Structure 1
């Protein structure tokens, strides 16, 4: 039997921190908060991103977090709070849970994802 992805997302949300778009916006100017956009490049090109967000496609997350991986990215070794988001907060819930399980201490994700961010009129940057 296949576990429905909605059940996986609900289970992840029960174990992680979720923040509102308003709360997330207050973190934008704080250097100890890093926004991680886990959408794929086509989504970024189509709709932009949260200003200064680091793009990490969901399929690479665990490889980029792991310092022993040949694909490791130094951004994930920083002492910061990682704010994950995707389009609607399903992938980011799973990503936040995975990052937490891998040992990142300060992780959260944005309720409603980028869609909620854009709908709330929050700032959007062109992809870089």
Structure 2
């Protein structure tokens, strides 16, 4: 295989250099803040397997750009709220860093959970079970 000109790790590193990263302990303190919208971009199977941050919005990674764009037929009202702080997360912070960098390029302000969901429970973050739908 031909060597890539930019690796996935390089893309993550470049994204992290230009976006806001939130530490797990800081987001735990923000969970109940009505002005914070936590967005989980993990696959539904990941959420079912490990649970989710209570009150978080599930937005599959493949739809984010369309869901936040008010001109898209897929726009979701949750992303049109004025005065809210949006914090995206995945399992380890890689997908969410790329997501937030892309959203920033679109003009949508957001941050991401630096370590992702991987350390959430062990650092005392609340977790709710996600049931499989029949």
**TM-score, normalised via structure 1 length:** 0.94
1:76 corresponds to 2:79: yes
Residue 40 of structure 1: aligned partner: 43
Identify the match of residue 25 of structure 2 among 2, 18, 22. Answer: 22
Deviations 1:3-36 (A, max 9, x none): 1100000000000000111100111111110000
Residue 122 of structure 1 and its aligned partner are, at CA, apart by 1.2
DSSP-derived class of the 1:118 partner? coil
DSSP-derived class of the 2:120 partner? helix
Residue 82 of structure 1 and its aligned partner are, at CA, apart by 0.5
1:87 corresponds to 2:97: no
Residue 91 of structure 1 and its aligned partner are, at CA, apart by 0.2
DSSP-derived class of the 1:31 partner? coil
Residue 70 of structure 2: aligned partner: 67
Query: Mind listing any 5+ residue stretches in structure 1 that lack a counterpart?
Result: none
Residue 58 of structure 1: aligned partner: 61
Aligned residue pair count: 127
Query: Mind listing any 5+ residue stretches in structure 2 that lack a counterpart?
Result: none
**TM-score, normalised via structure 2 length:** 0.90
Partner Cα distance (1:48, 1:23) in 2: 20
Residue 104 of structure 1: aligned partner: 108
Deviations 1:58-115 (A, max 9, x none): 000001011111111011111211010000000000011112111123x111111000
Partner Cα distance (1:73, 1:88) in 2: 25
CA RMSD of aligned residues (A): 1.1
Structure 1 runs of 4+ aligned residues shifted over 4 Å read none
